[in-house]
Chain A
């Protein structure tokens, strides 16, 4: 990544800060306002997978990964993403090559309206990166910041279990 150290002063252009970051593996420069949150900046610049469900950090539908850790982008000042590595749902997988977590959510029927799903999948990714073999309580704990009003969470918990199993066997094959 060709970005500079965080400590360097951010450039300001017409009241905007120019932050340098990686989004889904690609180096990007984004112009953001000083009072702008990462969620709004991402959505404004075309990454609309992260959703705004409450804007107060209570529902988790805005979750993205910042340096591999799930964060609430609606509470994260955009300037804080300077020199960070951001993964949004768009960076997880594609129609042709979905991530095993995405596949598991589809297969188990864990997606209903789908509004909470990007955040939920990224929280699951954060969990499975840290802990490839979580038990049910760990899954519940990891997803407890992602509110869903449609599913009763039954099939979503099942999806994370299935994804963990798949990711583990993928590793064995490799």
Chain B
């Protein structure tokens, strides 16, 4: 095991780009002036399902300032997926830049570029479209029935498993060890639901496409996946990859919605058509409706349990609503099982049945938690139900069953992301410590006593949940890094990794600095530019710390070796006797030289060369971070209002490369999760029109709504991670729904099976219970 006496790693180093942001200097996509920039606007479908019979843009092009109108007749017809995933993507190729069919309210119909936004908007309103309305379907269960409207009836889409039944993805998996539920004393079957939820990154989707001096296309875009953007735009517009450069400037949050080619293709098509730079900036409403959402879910869980606390069998059926297109349809569905089923030992039989289903609704995609959020709401609610049934303390029940260090699960191998997974054993876990710490901080035992016999209108309760996630996608995610040395002993770190606000630029600099014996500020980070930085799949699947961090560590070690090589000559010492410390190369004999001396020697004097190294890394495994969440809530039995009084989230993240940033990731994930389970839900009219596509009617929690949230990092050491680290950007979002559902049950004896836990649902359940 490596030394744990870290100098830079595991320190609360200031985020390297934070001051620029706090001073308003950080450049987001829209924070540049580009001469002659045209504004793009898109005509959205007003219908949930229709064929375009006739489209006439002749009036639109006449409007002064309008430079281009694109319909499906003007763009290449190449089936592709908008999911920014590793190639070949496991999502069906069911999307076209523009099509002669629309599949949801908010689908693309046509696009306009004009000198002003006003002209572009006017032109959009002047495009005459004759639609043939088709019957629409909004519910995934209805959509699978015989006779339901077929949403993808086109012949050129690819990899749709059953287009006639609207099935965008399916996956089944079984472990059979005898008769089902034979040993079980109790069999419990429940169905859990989550609705349409949007990411609500504060920066809306935005993209600017311009031409460089050599006529190459430069795509400046708010993306989590610059290299996938380059590949998919090239594919969908029939362009060579070498013609495209993608630059990700600072981006204002993503949470998965920007792991997607949402508008880069159409913006590029407008630029190509006009020969001019074009910007498309989504409004908040467009971001809600026409970017991506979480997959609404129906999770049926049937589990058998013995009185001694053994979970005998588990059958998990997951039906996801993928909306009009199958972006991430297979992988989100698989992760709802692959991240939850290994959590507890299941003695005999395991079955997973998964389907993602097309409907005439907004397109679901990647969203922090990626299926595990939907899965853990079901599993962790069910764990409490089972514990109660057998009369066992829910904590004791979990402790008896959760996966421990050295243990594996057949699920790891059977279920990967879109294909078979990777066999792995747990090599680090702090779950037991996380539970202990959480119990203490929330005062579980004292409060459980205190709340035993409550009178009055307002009742308090406690609930908890355990969870895991992964650290990148093993043997699929790949990251690389290049390091080069400058005269003053500083280093450039060039990385494809994509900082979407997570602080990855900072923690990757810390990893490099730790290896090279310098401070974080001696590492100059440049990331996410397909021309200048090496490949990285991008920021998703909790991969950056673990996978990109691995690449940076390797590259830094190579560069270190080159530094020592030169220093050995300067100091006339053996390389093996040298080490790096405080910007110096020091020998065991006591002599030393500065890194600046090394750099100058290599650049100007001796065996002249640039000290530079590149390395790539792909995770062999995906070590799960673990967490235990604890919620104290209060239920107003007259209004049905739930108030979170206290929330403690203890997370095992291996070595926290930067504890402040790790806590920040977890705080944010937890609050999003609390928002999901208390208030967040996109609403639609009977014909599929979104009703609350703004922050006034779709509530995300603000400071005044925010309960005390405490993130506690539980240090462990993951041998496969850089300096012992695991990734934790997603895991925190999986806890609030089940922890709060369990707390509500604890307070008033009602169980809610669908989020959000709105006052009307709570009241209805309280009334039902009183009648009994």
Stretch at the interface among A2-10, A150-158, A166-174: A150-158
Chain A residues with CB below 8 A from B17, complex form = 114
Question: Are B23's CB and A115's CB within 8 A?
Answer: no
Question: Are B700's CB and A54's CB within 8 A?
Answer: no
Question: Are B694's CB and A155's CB within 8 A?
Answer: no
Chain A residues with CB below 8 A from B668, complex form = 112, 149-152
Least CB distance from A113 to B in Å reads: 2
Question: Are A152's CB and B30's CB within 8 A?
Answer: no
Question: Are B20's CB and A95's CB within 8 A?
Answer: yes
Chain A residues with CB below 8 A from B694, complex form = 54, 56, 58
Chain A residues with CB below 8 A from B664, complex form = 109-110, 112, 150-152, 154-155
Question: Are A48's CB and B18's CB within 8 A?
Answer: no
Question: A69 on the interface (CB 8 Å rule)?
Answer: no
The chain A residue with its CB closest to the CB of B670 is A152
Question: Are B250's CB and A93's CB within 8 A?
Answer: no
Q: Mark A111-127, 1 if CB is under 8 A from B, else 0.
A: 11111111001000000
Question: A134 on the interface (CB 8 Å rule)?
Answer: no
Tell me the complex Cα distance, A146–B202, Å. 10
Contact pick for B202, options A56, A103, A113, CB 8 Å: A113
Chain A residues with CB below 8 A from B770, complex form = none
Question: Are A147's CB and B23's CB within 8 A?
Answer: no
Chain B residues with CB below 8 A from A112, complex form = 253, 501-503, 664, 668
Chain B residues with CB below 8 A from A110, complex form = 664
Question: Are A90's CB and B202's CB within 8 A?
Answer: no
Chain B residues with CB below 8 A from A153, complex form = 667, 671, 702-703, 706
Least CB distance from A48 to B in Å reads: 4
Question: Are B667's CB and A106's CB within 8 A?
Answer: no
**B24, B500, B696, B709 — most chain A CB neighbours (10 Å):** B24
Question: A107 on the interface (CB 8 Å rule)?
Answer: yes
Question: Are B23's CB and A95's CB within 8 A?
Answer: yes
Contact pick for A143, options B672, B703, B711, CB 8 Å: B703
Known contacts A111-B22, A155-B660; is-contact A55 B202 (Cβ 8 Å): no
Question: A73 on the interface (CB 8 Å rule)?
Answer: no
Question: Are B667's CB and A152's CB within 8 A?
Answer: yes
Known contacts A48-B31, A109-B660, A109-B664; is-contact A147 B19 (Cβ 8 Å): no
Question: A20 on the interface (CB 8 Å rule)?
Answer: no
Known contacts A112-B664, A114-B17, A141-B704; is-contact A148 B202 (Cβ 8 Å): yes
Least CB distance from A40 to B in Å reads: 10
Chain B residues with CB below 8 A from A90, complex form = 23-25
Question: Are B24's CB and A49's CB within 8 A?
Answer: yes
Question: Are A157's CB and B24's CB within 8 A?
Answer: no
Tell me the complex Cα distance, A52–B695, Å. 13
Least CB distance from B226 to A in Å reads: 16
Question: Are B22's CB and A114's CB within 8 A?
Answer: yes
Question: Are B695's CB and A59's CB within 8 A?
Answer: yes
Question: Are B202's CB and A116's CB within 8 A?
Answer: yes
Chain A residues with CB below 8 A from B552, complex form = none
Known contacts A140-B704, A149-B255, A152-B670; is-contact A106 B22 (Cβ 8 Å): yes
Question: A17 on the interface (CB 8 Å rule)?
Answer: no
Chain B residues with CB below 8 A from A53, complex form = 202-204, 252, 284
Question: Are A56's CB and B253's CB within 8 A?
Answer: no
Contact pick for B706, options A43, A61, A89, A152, CB 8 Å: A152
Contact pick for A51, options B252, B672, B709, CB 8 Å: B252
Question: Are B252's CB and A114's CB within 8 A?
Answer: yes
The chain B residue with its CB closest to the CB of A88 is B24
Contact pick for A113, options B19, B252, B671, CB 8 Å: B252
Tell me the complex Cα distance, A36–B503, Å. 35
Tell me the complex Cα distance, A110–B201, Å. 16
**B12, B18, B695 — most chain A CB neighbours (10 Å):** B18
Least CB distance from B234 to A in Å reads: 28
Contact pick for A151, options B33, B250, B667, CB 8 Å: B667
Contact pick for B696, options A58, A89, A141, CB 8 Å: A58
Contact pick for B203, options A48, A92, A113, CB 8 Å: A113
Question: A26 on the interface (CB 8 Å rule)?
Answer: no
Chain A residues with CB below 8 A from B21, complex form = 111, 114, 117-118
Tell me the complex Cα distance, A48–B28, Å. 9
Question: A105 on the interface (CB 8 Å rule)?
Answer: yes
Chain B residues with CB below 8 A from A156, complex form = 703
Question: A129 on the interface (CB 8 Å rule)?
Answer: no
Contact pick for B703, options A108, A149, A157, CB 8 Å: A157
Considering only residues 1-60 of chain B, those with a C-beta below 8 Å from chain A are 12, 14-15, 17-28, 30-31, 33
Tell me the complex Cα distance, A162–B5, Å. 30
Question: Are B15's CB and A106's CB within 8 A?
Answer: yes
Contact pick for B14, options A51, A106, A118, A121, CB 8 Å: A106
The chain B residue with its CB closest to the CB of A61 is B202
Tell me the complex Cα distance, A142–B30, Å. 28
Question: Are A95's CB and B204's CB within 8 A?
Answer: no
Question: B200 on the interface (CB 8 Å rule)?
Answer: yes
The chain A residue with its CB closest to the CB of B705 is A144
Question: A71 on the interface (CB 8 Å rule)?
Answer: no
Tell me the complex Cα distance, A159–B252, Å. 20
Chain A residues with CB below 8 A from B15, complex form = 106, 109, 111
Least CB distance from A61 to B in Å reads: 6
Chain A residues with CB below 8 A from B204, complex form = 52-54
Considering only residues 671-722 of chain B, those with a C-beta below 8 Å from chain A are 671-672, 694-696, 700, 702-706, 709, 711
Tell me the complex Cα distance, A121–B21, Å. 11
Chain B residues with CB below 8 A from A52, complex form = 30, 204, 281
Question: Are B12's CB and A109's CB within 8 A?
Answer: yes
Question: Are A115's CB and B502's CB within 8 A?
Answer: no
Chain B residues with CB below 8 A from A54, complex form = 204, 284, 694-695
Chain B residues with CB below 8 A from A118, complex form = 21-22, 24
Least CB distance from A149 to B in Å reads: 5
Least CB distance from A140 to B in Å reads: 4
Question: A98 on the interface (CB 8 Å rule)?
Answer: yes
Least CB distance from B721 to A in Å reads: 21
Question: A14 on the interface (CB 8 Å rule)?
Answer: no
Chain A residues with CB below 8 A from B706, complex form = 140, 152-154
Known contacts A112-B503, A146-B703, A155-B667; is-contact A89 B253 (Cβ 8 Å): no
Contact pick for B700, options A103, A149, A157, CB 8 Å: A149
Chain B residues with CB below 8 A from A58, complex form = 284, 694-696
Chain A residues with CB below 8 A from B661, complex form = 109
Question: Are B253's CB and A149's CB within 8 A?
Answer: yes
Considering only residues 37-79 of chain A, those with a C-beta below 8 Å from chain B are 43, 46, 48-56, 58-59, 61
Chain B residues with CB below 8 A from A95, complex form = 19-20, 23, 25
Question: A81 on the interface (CB 8 Å rule)?
Answer: no
Chain B residues with CB below 8 A from A103, complex form = 22
Question: B251 on the interface (CB 8 Å rule)?
Answer: yes
Least CB distance from A42 to B in Å reads: 11
Question: A84 on the interface (CB 8 Å rule)?
Answer: no
Chain A residues with CB below 8 A from B108, complex form = none
Question: A132 on the interface (CB 8 Å rule)?
Answer: no
Least CB distance from A98 to B in Å reads: 6
The chain B residue with its CB closest to the CB of A145 is B702
Question: Are B22's CB and A102's CB within 8 A?
Answer: yes
Tell me the complex Cα distance, A55–B502, Å. 25
Question: Are B500's CB and A113's CB within 8 A?
Answer: yes
Known contacts A106-B18, A112-B668, A114-B501; is-contact A144 B703 (Cβ 8 Å): yes
Which 7 pairs between the two chains have the least Cβ-Cβ distance?
A113-B501, A49-B24, A114-B21, A115-B252, A89-B24, A152-B667, A109-B660
Can you name 19 extra interface pairs (CB under 8 A) apart from A114-B21, A116-B202? A51-B28, A53-B204, A54-B204, A59-B284, A93-B23, A105-B18, A109-B14, A112-B503, A112-B668, A113-B201, A114-B18, A114-B26, A116-B252, A117-B21, A117-B22, A149-B700, A151-B667, A152-B667, A152-B706
* Cross-chain pairs A/B with CB under 8 angstroms, 22 sampled: A46-B33, A51-B28, A53-B203, A53-B252, A53-B284, A56-B696, A98-B22, A102-B23, A109-B663, A110-B664, A113-B501, A115-B28, A115-B201, A116-B252, A139-B703, A145-B702, A147-B200, A149-B199, A150-B668, A151-B664, A155-B664, A156-B703
